[in-house]
């Protein structure tokens, strides 16, 4: 995974993540739905500090193609992460890692 940070007037505006590798190891035969496996993997990446506050996720369709899952599976995973308070989606802007609670 690598990222590009955009800076404007000396301030970080946002960071775009390129999550080509590593990718989540998914088990389609598991009793745990794929969207939940993806959400758990992303949550672990956030907890480990590999996804920083303010990081912007690539488009859900790009992630779906990279990870070999359906677009709606990625969307459901992002909705699950939003319910957990780990990401926030902004219409027309994208999905971002939220600030950790203190």
**Which pLDDT value is given to residue 20?**
44
Min mean pLDDT across 4-13, 21-30, 82-91 is at 4-13
DSSP letters, the chain, are -EEEEEEETTEEEEEEEE--SS-----TTSSS-HHHHHHHHHHHHHHTTSS-TTEEPPPHHHHHHHHTS-HHHHHHHHHHHHHTTSEEEETTTEEEEPPPP-
List the domains of the chain with CATH numbers: 2-97 (1.10.10.10)
When pLDDT is averaged across residues 66-82 and rounded to a whole number, the result is 96
pTM of the model: 0.78
Q: Is the pLDDT of residue 100 over 80?
A: no
- Please report the pLDDT score of residue 32 as a whole number: 96
pLDDT at 81 over 90: yes
């Amino acid at each position: 995974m690598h990222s590009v940070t955009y800076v404007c007037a000396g301030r970080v505006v946002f960071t775009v993540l390129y999550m080509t590798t590593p990718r989540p190891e998914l088990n389609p035969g598991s009793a745990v739905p794929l969207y939940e496996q993806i959400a758990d993997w992303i949550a672990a990446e956030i907890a480990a500090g590999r996804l920083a506050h303010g990081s912007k996720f690539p488009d859900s369709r790009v992630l779906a193609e990279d990870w070999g899952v359906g677009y709606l599976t990625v969307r459901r995973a992002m909705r699950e992460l939003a319910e957990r308070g780990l990401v926030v989606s902004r219409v027309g802007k994208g999905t971002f890692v939220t600030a950790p609670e203190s």
